[in-house]
Amino acid sequence: MEQELIRLGSNENLLGPSPKALEVIKNNADQLHIYPVEEDWQLAEKLSAKIGAGITKEHLLIGNGSADVIRMIVQTHVMPGDEVLFPLPSFAIYKRLTHVHRGVIVNVPLKDHHIDLELLLGAVTEKTKLIFLCNPNNPTGKIIKHEPLEQFLKKLPEHVLVVIDEAYCDFVEDPDFPRSAELVANGHNVIVTRTFSKLYGLASLRVGYGFGHLETMERVRSTRHVSETGIVAYQAAMAALTDEAHEVNSLEMTINGRNYLYQELDKLGLNYLKSEALFVTLIDLPMPPAQLVAEARKHNLIIRHTDVFDMPEAVRISIGRQEDLEKAVAILGQILK
Ligand SMILES: Cc1ncc(COP(=O)(O)O)c(C=O)c1O
């Protein structure tokens, strides 16, 4: 019999989907022939109530995953020759989308695996259209804190729009994590993107959202036909927002999982980056990262070589359930012995 795969390569929530969302999907599957009408605004309204800080449904835009919201932002803002600035290593999509829209990619390196805001500021020019900040940063798991971020935004020229990708914000423990809705409310030229793919376990439903200033969001919204996602996805996302037990369990799995992994990696003598996200990244590996990933795959363990994020020297392990992590640690031990 083929052994089951241990999927720790794509930062999926291995607890599974929110059970409340699942129930709604089962009960509403017979509505799939209908286009959504009111559901987009209904979900936006529920999200705005959760976000607070004066963010209303008009400040929100829902997309086919947060990657789709990011796509719409680039599509509406980047013209050929515009500069798009972001630190590297970071999430791969910023580079790909800028390329598609014939923007000019400008990168600055990280400093000790953290985003260096001073360096970013120094790289801003008259042509800078967008800045991407992934917070927590994928694949390093490090965060920018509220105060430095606000100071950075205050120093930026007005023509620069900052996209803060908060795909992993729900897993952050640091109390100084930016209150990003407050930054939007305070007038900074920012769009914040978030997702139902991680905490709510709905990666394959494809629901994400962004919020920012009314005029900016109106411009981004102009790329849409009717809606980016379907009626059942909206309904399931609304149900997931009320599923407190699943939220708590997902967060607990992640925090306990990170701590368990640190402890076991220490025992294996492996170096890693402490993370505020749904993954931990291994550095200073005793074998080539691609080889480690390939060896792991032979044992049915999927982990990610971070070369796709311009970090060729590392390997990222997603946080799973305790049993997934125990198996992963045993396999790593076997490969590295
Ligand atoms: C940093 C970051 N942003 C955005 C996304 C896209 O998520 P989705 O399109 O599923 O909302 C991901 C997915 O892994 C991610 O890691």
> What pLDDT is recorded for position 173?
98
The residue among 226, 241, 256 that closes a domain is: 241
Atom of ligand 1 nearest to the CA of 165: 3
The residue among 211, 241, 271 that closes a domain is: 241
Residues 146 and 213 in one domain: yes
Residue 129 forms part of a structural domain: yes
Q: From ligand 1's centre to the CA of 67, what distance in Å? A: 6
Could you give the dihedral angle defined by the CA atoms of residues 37, 38, 43 and 45, in that order, rounded to the nearest 10 degrees? 140
Which protein residue has the closest C-alpha to ligand 1 atom 2?
167
Residues 158 and 198 in one domain: yes
The residue among 241, 257, 276 that closes a domain is: 241
Q: From ligand 1's centre to the CA of 203, what distance in Å? A: 9
Residues 174 and 303 in one domain: no
Residues 236 and 251 in one domain: no
Which protein residue has the closest C-alpha to ligand 1 atom 3?
167
Q: Which residues, 6+ apart, have CB-to-CB distance to 319 below 8 Å?
A: 8, 253, 254, 257, 258, 261, 278, 279, 280, 325
Buried/exposed 283-306: b ≥16 CB within 10 Å, e otherwise:
bebeeebeebbebbeeeebbbbbb
> What pLDDT is recorded for position 3?
73
Q: What is the pLDDT along the chain (337 residues), one digit of tens a residue?
A: 457 999 999 999 999 999 999 999 999 999 999 999 899 999 999 999 999 999 999 999 999 999 999 999 999 999 999 999 999 999 999 999 999 999 999 999 999 999 999 999 999 999 999 999 999 999 999 999 999 999 999 999 999 999 999 999 999 999 999 999 999 999 999 999 999 999 999 999 999 999 999 999 999 999 987 888 999 999 999 999 999 999 999 999 999 999 999 999 999 999 999 999 999 999 999 999 999 999 999 999 999 999 999 999 999 999 999 999 999 999 999 999 8
Mode of pairing for the β-strands spanning 304-305 and 315-318: antiparallel
Q: What is the CATH number of the domain that holds 320?
A: 3.90.1150.10
Residue 1 forms part of a structural domain: no
Atom of ligand 1 nearest to the CA of 207: 11
Residues 66 and 152 in one domain: yes
Residue-number span of the structural domain to which 108 is assigned: 19-241
Query: Cβ < 6 Å from ligand 1: which residues?
Result: 11, 65-67, 91, 134, 138, 165, 167, 195, 197, 203, 208
Q: What is the CATH number of the domain that holds 53?
A: 3.40.640.10
Atom of ligand 1 nearest to the CA of 194: 11
> What pLDDT is recorded for position 227?
85
Residues 105 and 91 in one domain: yes
Residues 81 and 208 in one domain: yes
Atom of ligand 1 nearest to the CA of 134: 1
Residues 219 and 92 in one domain: yes
- Residue among 68, 86, 95, 197 whose CB has most ligand 1 atoms within 8 A, to mutate: 197
